[in-house]
């Protein structure tokens, strides 16, 4: 796995204190995290600083955001080599029980045939149900 420094360098984003801790935290998570999750995990940090950091990361394709319907936008680190192009689209799974959101990197994204003259640019695909932990 790439380090914080490597990622920031590749994506040409200046390394700062807040960016380092936020990205390091996100790299260590299996699930996508909300602003609140991150703020709570990094007790000493400021909400708006984290917010702006996430915006910066998203603009520079270090992370992607997921609208899972929970009311809070969640963020996850992009896979290595991701450019947030169509080829990088993937499904997400939201667990109705534990409220966690997973990136399903392993499930191929099927090209759906849109109506005439519609053009796909991005997608927000969220499958909801019970995750392996909660489906018992």
Which residues of this protein are in contact with a second copy, per CB under 8 A?
67-69, 91, 93, 96, 104, 106-107, 110, 112-132, 135
For helices 17-27 and 47-59, give the axis angle rounded to 10 degrees.
Answer: 70
Cα separation, 2 vs 80, in Å, equals 8
* Among the listed residues 10, 27, 35, 41, the single contact to DNA using CB under 7 A: 35
71 binds DNA (CB under 7 A): yes
51 binds DNA (CB under 7 A): yes
99 binds DNA (CB under 7 A): no
14 binds DNA (CB under 7 A): yes
CA dist list (Å): 77 to 80, 93, 103 = 9, 15, 10
45 binds DNA (CB under 7 A): yes
Least CB distance to DNA at residue 60 (A)? 10
- Decide: 119 and 85 in contact? Cβ < 8 Å: no
Residue identified by tokens 């995290």 is: 33
12 binds DNA (CB under 7 A): no
36 binds DNA (CB under 7 A): yes
Cα separation, 102 vs 106, in Å, equals 11
72 binds DNA (CB under 7 A): yes
Partner touching 113 among a second copy, DNA, none, CB below 5 to 8 Å by kind: a second copy
- Decide: 31 and 95 in contact? Cβ < 8 Å: no
Q: Which two three-digit tokens encode residue 87? A: 């080829």
Chain residues that interact with DNA, rule: CB under 7 A: 14, 16-19, 34-36, 44-49, 51-53, 55-56, 71-73
């Amino acid at each position: 796995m790439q380090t914080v420094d490597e990622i920031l360098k590749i994506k040409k984003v200046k390394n700062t204190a807040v960016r380092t801790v936020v990205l390091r935290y996100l790299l260590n998570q299996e699930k996508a995290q909300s602003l609140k999750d991150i703020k709570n995990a990094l007790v000493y940090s400021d909400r708006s600083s984290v917010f702006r950091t996430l915006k910066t990361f998203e603009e520079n394709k270090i992370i992607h955001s997921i609208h899972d319907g929970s009311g809070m936008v969640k963020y996850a680190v992009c896979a290595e080599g991701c450019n947030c192009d169509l080829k990088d689209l993937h499904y997400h799974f939201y667990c109705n029980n534990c409220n966690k959101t997973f990136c399903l990197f392993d499930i191929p994204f099927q090209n759906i045939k849109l109506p005439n003259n519609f053009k796909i640019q991005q997608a927000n695909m969220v499958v909801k149900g019970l995750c392996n932990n909660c489906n018992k």
